Amino acid sequence: MVKEDSFSKIVSVLSVHSPNIDAEILSDRSRKLEELDLDSLQIMEIVYELEEYFCHNISEIQLQALATIDDLVSAFDAAKKIKA
């Protein structure tokens, strides 16, 4: 399933950028990104890394709307569907 593939990769990238956060917390799709103690620069680095990995860019509107881990997954899944 594409969404699970996206989710797994996103959790992997988040765990690298948030090494002190428990994996169980990162597996909660409804977890707010602000609860991961990520600043805006770190979020941009994560998005850039994911854009490079998935070969898809997310729009600025989607970027501004990112609030949860699931928002991040949905943004990349939507970008992949548009390009498909």
**Domain enclosing residue 11, as ranges:** 2-83
pTM of the entire predicted model:
0.85
Q: What is the pLDDT of residues 25-84, one digit of tens each?
A: 999 999 999 899 888 899 999 999 999 999 989 889 889 999 999 999 999 988 777 765
**What is the CATH classification number for the domain harbouring 53?**
1.10.1200.10
Number of domains in the chain: 1
Burial of 17 (0-12, 13-18, 19+ CB in 10 A): middle
